[in-house]
Structure 1
Amino acid sequence: MLVDYNNINIPHFMDSKFFEATFKNGFPGKLIKVKNIFFTMGPKLGENYVSHIYRADATYNDGESEDKTISLIIKSLPEGELGAHFGEMGLFTRERDIYIHFLPKVERLLNGVTIAPRFLYYTEQPMETLVFVDVSPLGYVLADRVRGLDEKHCRLVFEKLAEFHAASMVLAKEQPKEIGEKFNEDRLIDEQKVMGNMFNQNFTHFAKVVETWPGFKDTSEKLRRFISTIPQNMAKWCGPADKEIKVLAHNDLWVNNILFKYKDGEPVDLYFIDFQASVYSSPGIDFTHFLYTSPQFDILDQKRDLLIEGYYKSFKATLENLGYSPIPTLENILEEIEKRETVGFIWAVVKLFLICMDPSECGENSLENLNDKDKGEKIREIGMSTKRFVSTMQYVLRRMEKIGVLK
């Protein structure tokens, strides 16, 4: 087997043995001969914070036909202290378990509805690494995160999310230990601890920005009081609760974790990716995380209720088709969303300013730079002055005051 690194800085362990193991695991029962690997992409700065992403094309023969080519996405932990922290948090093992033990069952329940790209391989040594089929050759691509998602994109997201959530409820009822106990720990709470300095800097800078907005001086004071309560309340706000509707929540649902397929310029299907934070908890976690980071502002402002109703229609229909009862009411779902508003608020402050920045302005948005006082302040100044960020966060702040999150 020839492995061509294409002058890209590729980890040394991604060699012929690595790819032989990938195909052996990903195509069980088949005698696969991998002929060559050609890397086409290395890590891209400013887009991935928890992992390094590589892309490679593989030519192989399965003994049944002529040579075939498949594109692979390879996802590995970053090196150094940060990668060690994320490894201790178990982010990659959580994602591995979702792909191996959960998603195949969900897709069977949904009669072949595909939730995510195909998983091929996981290895722990020398560095935690996951390999997936690259679905970009099939037409699945990221949407424009800077502009935000329009109504058609958002409706599609909530329809498939509803199917995903509903199927997880059925599985959890049938196999409570496999779902309820296996995925009941929220890994993003640990991520907040690892990135605590960046969290604090984001909120502190945001409070200064809010103070400059006409009519928001009192709000900035409320925000500062809220900041002081984050460390002791993060687990309560974001983690699973005893009395709530429970689904397997994606728990990191924003525009860059969704791949869309288009026909004649319109979105017709999607895959969710990056399940490393998934948790058995309230569906409200996914709602507020997505609503406050990913739609265009006009959609959030004017279509919020319609999107929730669209979700519920799909959610209810899926549960009925799967014979689940009792089915939660729309009012139940609305209560779950309101109880988890704080989750969306926190992640909007943490990441929306980065989402709204043009890629040409955020090529160096690494965690290291965001934690650097001067570089981080410059990034925050740019991101928190964008029109979409300001409009969205003014909406969110008013919402937080209305429901009592900010007092």
Structure 2
Amino acid sequence: MLVDFNNINIPEYMDSEFFEAAFRSGFNDKIVKLKNVFFTMGPKLGENYVSHIYRANATYNDGGSDNKIISLIIKTVPSGPVGGHIAEMGVFTRERDVYVHALPEIERLLDGEAIVPKFLYYTPAPVETFVFVDVTPLGYILADRVKGLDEEHCGLVFEKLAKLHAASIALTKKQPQILRMLSEDLFAKNDGNQDMMQATLLNNFEHLAKVVETWPGFKETPEKIRRFMSTIPQNMAKWCGPSDKEIKVLAHNDLWVNNILFKYKDGKPVDLYFIDFQGSVYSSPGVDFTHFLYTSPQFDVLDQKRDLLIEGYYYKTFKSTLENLGYSPIPTLENILEEIEKRETVGFFWSAMKLFLISMDPSDCGENSLENLNDKDKGDRIRSIGMSSKRFVSTMQYVLTRMEKIGVLN
């Protein structure tokens, strides 16, 4: 078979043997003859921070009279210092465990309803690499991260999230070992591999404090932000990691607009897939709620529709899914609201970590990388652009006001 790199800078190991192994894995050793693979895209700078994404089309024959074409997504650990940190953190191995062990069982409990695009293959060498079916040709695309998600998009997210969470609770009762293997939060571990992430987070908070100094009505807030910053290193694992006394689900743990692919009909979102389960953890549903709420909705949705999203979209579906699965006792709405409130700090972290990047126009994203964010001059330039957007300002003012109200900032 032929692998055509199409003049794109593609790693040499993505050769015929690599793709043949991927198809043997993805098609459960069914006899499939690969004809050729044609790369269509390499990594796009400024949009992915913990992986490199490649796209390719594969022509194959599964025994029929006609050849078939399937689009593929190939995801790898990035090169350089960031890739080293990512590999040491074990996030790709965590994602493998989620795709191989947890998600197939969850989708089975949901009568085959797909939560994610089809997973084909994982290899740990020469670098950790995944192969997935690219669902873009099927009509699944990213929404506008800069604009943010309206109520229809957010409602669909919370309905699908409710099914994921509910089925994972039911799975724990049947096969507890599957999700217990995901009990460590890789993003919140207190070890040397977190230095880059924490350094970026602290730099973001410091720049945020300087920006807030210019906002009318927030005179005392910058000092509160700096006091809060000083407590992050010793408390991050406690705030973000799993707790003994909580409702536990398979939390995506990186739930924001660019990790969701939407399908549309007549201009309206009708279905979605979640992607990128690198940080997934067996933890509180509040982890996903606050992460998503403080990074992804349009401001008016966050400001005016928060209760509707939780109660009308999420909890209604969560309860009915558990009822259909015959699970009891079903957590109450009050239980879920308590979980969300306990994890407000998680949403605060992620809004400071990425909202200014999400709000940036794509034309301003060329320099965006973890290395550049940790370079003083380049990092400050990126933060200044992102933190000046209207959406960032309105959403962050909402978040800061809420953090003060509930005592996270004092």
Q: How many angstroms apart in 1 are the aligned matches of 2:215 and 2:309?
A: 29
Q: How many angstroms apart in 1 are the aligned matches of 2:79 and 2:21?
A: 22
Correspondent of 1:343 among 336, 341, 346: 346
Q: How many angstroms apart in 2 are the aligned matches of 1:178 and 1:387?
A: 43
Q: How many angstroms apart in 2 are the aligned matches of 1:65 and 1:188?
A: 49
Q: How many angstroms apart in 2 are the aligned matches of 1:153 and 1:80?
A: 36
Correspondent of 1:378 among 371, 378, 381: 381
Partner of 1:334: 337
For 1:189-230, what per-residue CA distance to the aligned partner results, in whole angstroms no more than 9, with x for missing partners? 247433222111111000111111111111111111000000
Partner of 1:201: 203
> Where in structure 1 do 4 or more consecutive aligned residues deviate above 6 Å?
none
Aligned AA (1:159)? E
Q: How many angstroms apart in 2 are the aligned matches of 1:347 and 1:213?
A: 21
Which segment is superposed worse, 49-58 or 192-201? 192-201
Partner of 1:393: 396
Partner of 1:6: 6
Aligned AA (1:47)? E
Q: How many angstroms apart in 2 are the aligned matches of 1:88 and 1:65?
A: 46
Partner of 2:161: 161
Partner of 1:183: 182
Which segment is superposed worse, 123-132 or 79-88? 79-88
Instruction: Give the root-mean-square deviation of aligned CA atoms.
Output: 0.9
Partner of 2:365: 362
Partner of 1:132: 132
Please tell me whether the aligned partners of residues 249 and 286 of structure 1 are also in contact (alpha carbons under 8 angstroms).
yes
Partner of 2:278: 276
Q: How many angstroms apart in 2 are the aligned matches of 1:264 and 1:82?
A: 41
Aligned AA (1:399)? R
Secondary structure of the 1:88 match is helix
For 1:388-407, what per-residue CA distance to the aligned partner results, in whole angstroms no more than 9, with x for missing partners? 00000000001001100001
Secondary structure of the 1:195 match is helix
Secondary structure of the 1:187 match is coil
Partner of 1:244: 246
Which segment is superposed worse, 251-260 or 188-197? 188-197
**Following TM superposition, by how much is the alpha carbon of 1:32 offset from its aligned partner in structure 2, in angstroms?**
1.0
Q: How many angstroms apart in 2 are the aligned matches of 1:87 and 1:270?
A: 29
**Following TM superposition, by how much is the alpha carbon of 1:237 offset from its aligned partner in structure 2, in angstroms?**
0.6
User: TM-score of the superposition, structure 2-length normalised?
Assistant: 0.98
Partner of 1:224: 226
**Following TM superposition, by how much is the alpha carbon of 1:371 offset from its aligned partner in structure 2, in angstroms?**
1.2
Gaps of 5+ in 1: none
Q: How many angstroms apart in 2 are the aligned matches of 1:12 and 1:382?
A: 37
Secondary structure of the 1:131 match is strand
Q: How many angstroms apart in 2 are the aligned matches of 1:257 and 1:65?
A: 37
**Following TM superposition, by how much is the alpha carbon of 1:174 offset from its aligned partner in structure 2, in angstroms?**
1.4
**Following TM superposition, by how much is the alpha carbon of 1:275 offset from its aligned partner in structure 2, in angstroms?**
0.4
Please tell me whether the aligned partners of residues 74 and 129 of structure 1 are also in contact (alpha carbons under 8 angstroms).
yes
Q: How many angstroms apart in 1 are the aligned matches of 2:123 and 2:197?
A: 25
**Following TM superposition, by how much is the alpha carbon of 1:328 offset from its aligned partner in structure 2, in angstroms?**
0.6
Aligned AA (1:119)? F
Correspondent of 2:292 among 285, 290, 293: 290
The question of 1:403 aligning with 2:402 is answered no
Gaps of 5+ in 2: none
Aligned AA (1:195)? M
Please tell me whether the aligned partners of residues 222 and 406 of structure 1 are also in contact (alpha carbons under 8 angstroms).
yes
Please tell me whether the aligned partners of residues 145 and 257 of structure 2 are also in contact (alpha carbons under 8 angstroms).
yes
Q: How many angstroms apart in 1 are the aligned matches of 2:272 and 2:91?
A: 23
**Following TM superposition, by how much is the alpha carbon of 1:28 offset from its aligned partner in structure 2, in angstroms?**
1.4
For 1:363-405, what per-residue CA distance to the aligned partner results, in whole angstroms no more than 9, with x for missing partners? 2201111111111111100100100000000000010011000
Q: How many angstroms apart in 1 are the aligned matches of 2:254 and 2:194?
A: 13
Please tell me whether the aligned partners of residues 287 and 343 of structure 2 are also in contact (alpha carbons under 8 angstroms).
yes
Aligned residues: 406
**Following TM superposition, by how much is the alpha carbon of 1:347 offset from its aligned partner in structure 2, in angstroms?**
0.3
For 1:73-114, what per-residue CA distance to the aligned partner results, in whole angstroms no more than 9, with x for missing partners? 000001223212211111111111111111111111111111
Q: How many angstroms apart in 2 are the aligned matches of 1:9 and 1:335?
A: 49
Q: How many angstroms apart in 1 are the aligned matches of 2:295 and 2:391?
A: 10
Q: How many angstroms apart in 2 are the aligned matches of 1:27 and 1:194?
A: 39
Partner of 1:254: 256
Please tell me whether the aligned partners of residues 192 and 199 of structure 1 are also in contact (alpha carbons under 8 angstroms).
no
Determine what percentage of the aligned residue pairs are the same residue.
76
User: TM-score of the superposition, structure 1-length normalised?
Assistant: 0.98
Q: How many angstroms apart in 2 are the aligned matches of 1:185 and 1:149?
A: 30
Please tell me whether the aligned partners of residues 2 and 36 of structure 2 are also in contact (alpha carbons under 8 angstroms).
yes
Partner of 1:144: 144
Please tell me whether the aligned partners of residues 189 and 239 of structure 1 are also in contact (alpha carbons under 8 angstroms).
yes
Secondary structure of the 1:343 match is helix
Secondary structure of the 2:188 match is helix
Partner of 1:73: 73
Q: How many angstroms apart in 2 are the aligned matches of 1:76 and 1:161?
A: 26
For 1:283-341, what per-residue CA distance to the aligned partner results, in whole angstroms no more than 9, with x for missing partners? 00000000000000000000000000120000000000001111011011000000000
Secondary structure of the 1:132 match is strand
